[in-house]
Amino acid sequence: MMTLAVAAAACSAKAPEPAAPPAAQAQPAADRPYLLERVDDAAVVQVYADGFATLPIREKVLIWHLYQAALAGRDIYYDQRYAHSLEMREVLEEILTHAAGVEPAVLAEIQRYTKLFWLNSGPHNNLTARKFVLKCAPEAFLRAAQAAAGAGARFPLKPGETVEGLVERTRPWFFDPNVDPIVTNKSPGPGKDILASSANNLYVGVTMKDLAGFAERYPLNSRLVKQGGRLTEEVYRVHGRYGDKIATIMGHLGAAVPYATEPMAKALQALVTFYRTGETADREAYDIAWVQDQASPVDTINGFIETYLDPRGMKGAWEALVFYVNREKTEGIRKLAADAQWFEDRMPWDPKYRKPGVTGVVANAIDVVVETGESGPVTPIGINLPNDQRIREQHGSKSVLLSNINEAYDKSSPTAFREEFSWTKEEAERGNRWSAFAGELTTNMHEVIGHGSGRIEERLKGNPATAIKEHYSALEEARADLVGLYFLPDQKLVDLGIVPKESQQDIVLAEYEGYARNALVQLRRIREGAQIEQDHMRSRQLIVRWLMANTKAIEVRERDGKTFYVMIDAGAFRDGVGRLLAEVQRIKAQGDYQAARAMFEAFGISFDPKLRDEVVARVDKLNLPSYSGFVMPKLSPILGADKTITDVTISYPQDLTAQMLEYSGKRR
C-alpha cells in the first residue's frame, strides 16, 4: 500500500512535514530551490538527498547499481498505463529536441503538454484518471512536426508512413478527449464493464464476463489478452512481455549483489529469480526475503507492486524506488516503538481495552535517491509492503516514510495557503515555524503507537471490520489520529528527547490549530456534491466537527465574508480528544456498528456545499497546485584507471525537461 500526500489516499494522508535537515549532515544552501515551476495545476519540485554524500563508498556503489535498475524499467510503466504512451512520448520529445523552426506559441503549448505527460507518465491525470489533451490546432502540430523533421527529428514512422500520416494516425490520442478518456474506471455506470471502460494496457479486448471461470496463473504480473475467443496471459518475465527491459534490470540487480548486506543480497537474488521465472512461488520467496531484511541501511523496491492502476485491483504496476535510511529521523520512531507499552498503559479508554505486551510498529524514515514507474515523478509519502496478506500475517511487513519527499513538499508549498486560513498572524507564523515538525511527529505516533494499540472483545474474533463494515476504515484512521493528538502535549515526549521542552507548547498549538483548519481546507478537494467519500478525510472531518459540537476548543468565526475554524483552547481540545478517543475505542472493541454510523453521519460525511464553494474560491484565488511531481537527484559514477567505480557523486538537475530527456536518452 502506498500513501499519497496529494490525494489524501491511504494511511498517513496528511503529508508529515519534517523540520530542518539533521545537523550532523552537511548543511545545504538555505536558498536552494524546491519549487521549480508550475504547469497548470501541477507543481514541479526538486527533491534532495543530503545524506547520500556521507554514505560509505560501498553503499554508494550499491545505490548506483540499483539506480540504474530503477531507470531501466521506466518505460514498462508508460506502456502499462497506456498502449500508445511510448510512441506519443517519442513524437513529443523529437519535436522538443529539434525545435528551432517551430512557431513559438505552438512550441510553448507542446512544452506545456509534454511536461504534464512526463509528470503523469502518459496522457491521463494521476489524480482524476482523466485524459488531458493538446490545446493547439492539429494543423499547427503537423507544422511543428514537419519543422522538427526538417531539423533532423527521427519519428516513429510505420513502413512507408509520412510525417503527415503519423500526425493523422496519432491525432485521436493527442487531441480527442473522448478517445480512451479514463485510465482506470472503477465506476463506469450501470451495464458498463470496468475493464472495457479503462484505457490502461493491462487488458486487451477483455471484459469481466470473459474472466468468469478463468483461472489466472499470473494474476499480478501479466497482461491479459483475448484473441480469437481465447484468453492468454502475457507474463512479465525475462523471455516474456517486457523481456528486454527485465533483462537489463536483472543485470543491474546482479551487479548490486556484491555490495549488499547478506540479507539484502538474498532478497536481490530472489528478485532476479522472480524476474526470470515470473512464477508466483518465486514472488512469494522474494517478498519473504525482502521483509526479513529489516536492518540494511540501503533498500530498494523494484517490480510489479501496487494494483491501483487495475480496476480489478489484481495486476501490479511497475515501479522502482532506491533509498537509504535517514538515521536521525528513524531514531525518533524507534524511541516511540520501544516505549509503546508506556503509551498503551495510559490510553484514555476503559482499562479493559488496553493491551498487555503491545509492540510498536517499526518504520524507517528514509531518503529516496530515485523513484520511477508508478512512484515517480508523482510519488507516495509512505509505503507499507508486501501487499500479499498471507505473507504479511506470517512474516510481517516493512513501512517506510519518505522523509526527503516530505521535506520537498513542505519547502515548496506556498505559505500564502496557511495565511489565508489562519485567524491571526501569530497562528500563521506558528504554523510556518512548527507545522512541519508537529505534523511529522503526529504522523509517526499515528503509525507507530496508534494503529497497533488497544484490545477488542473476544467475540469479534479479531475482526472488528466485519462488524463495523463501511465505517471501519475511517473509524480506525480517526483512532490512530486521536492517539497522536492526545499524546502530543505529554511530558513523555520531552523525556524521550523527541520534543524540545521549551517549544512543546508552540508545537501543540501549531498542530491543533492546523488540524482544525484542515477540516475546512480539505473541502477544496471535493468540488462536486456535498459528501465525503475518502476515509481519511471522513475521519478528520469527524474529529474536528465532534470537538466543535462537544467542547469549547474550536470556534467558527467570520471576517470579510470568510469562514475560519479557530482553535482557542488547547486544554479543551486535548480533553475532548481523550473523550472521543475513549468512545472510538469502545465502538471498535464492541463492534458497535450503529454508534459508528451515527457518529459519522452526524459529523464525518456531509458538509455544507456553500462553505465548500467559499473555500474553493479562496484556494483558486491563491493558485495553489493540486499535485506535485518531483525532479530526482542525478547520480554519476567516478571511474578509476582500471574502470572500477571509485566514487559516486550526486547532483540536482533542477530541470524537469532536462531530466526527462536524459532518461529517454535524448539531449536538447
What does the binding site for Zn ion look like in residue numbers (CB under 5 A)?
A: 11, 477, 480
- Minimum Å gap between C-beta 539 and Zn ion is 9
Give 169 or 451: the residue with its C-beta nearer to Zn ion.
451
- Minimum Å gap between C-beta 11 and Zn ion is 4
Which DSSP string do the residues of 215-238 spell out, in sequence order?
--S-SSSEEEEEETTEEEEEEBST
Give 197 or 384: the residue with its C-beta nearer to Zn ion.
384
Q: Burial, 152: exposed, middle or buried (Cβ in 10 Å; 0-12, 13-18, 19+)?
A: exposed
Q: Are 241 and 316 in contact (CB under 8 A)?
A: no
Residues with Cβ within 8 Å of 357's Cβ and at least 6 positions away in sequence, in order, are 341
The runs of H, that is alpha helices, within 27-103 are 57-72, 74-81, 85-96
- Minimum Å gap between C-beta 476 and Zn ion is 7
For Zn ion, the nearest residue by Cβ is 11
Give 36 or 361: the residue with its C-beta nearer to Zn ion.
361
- Minimum Å gap between C-beta 549 and Zn ion is 24
Cell of 577: 480528544
Cell of 592: 458497535
User: Do the bridges between strand 42-46 and strand 35-39 make them parallel or antiparallel, or are there none, so unpaired?
Assistant: antiparallel
Which DSSP string do the residues of 373-384 spell out, in sequence order?
ETTSSS-EEEEE
- Minimum Å gap between C-beta 362 and Zn ion is 16
Give 480 or 523: the residue with its C-beta nearer to Zn ion.
480
- Minimum Å gap between C-beta 470 and Zn ion is 17
Which one, of 320, 441, 451, lies nearest residue 376 by Cα?
320
DSSP state of 593: H
Scan for cell 465574508, then name that residue: 561
- Minimum Å gap between C-beta 152 and Zn ion is 53
Helices (runs of H) and strands (runs of E) counted in the chain: 25, 16
Give 11 or 521: the residue with its C-beta nearer to Zn ion.
11
CA gyration radius, the chain: 26
- Minimum Å gap between C-beta 479 and Zn ion is 9
Which one, of 479, 441, 443, 457, lies nearest residue 355 by Cα?
457
Give 107 or 478: the residue with its C-beta nearer to Zn ion.
478
**Cα gap 306→283, rounded to integer Å:** 14
Give 11 or 268: the residue with its C-beta nearer to Zn ion.
11
Give 16 or 514: the residue with its C-beta nearer to Zn ion.
16
DSSP bridge pairs for 398: 385
- Minimum Å gap between C-beta 442 and Zn ion is 11
Give 300 or 453: the residue with its C-beta nearer to Zn ion.
453
Give 70 or 577: the residue with its C-beta nearer to Zn ion.
577
- Minimum Å gap between C-beta 483 and Zn ion is 10
Residues with Cβ within 8 Å of 60's Cβ and at least 6 positions away in sequence, in order, are 52, 647, 648
Tell me which amino acid residue 151 is: A
**Cα gap 511→21, rounded to integer Å:** 20
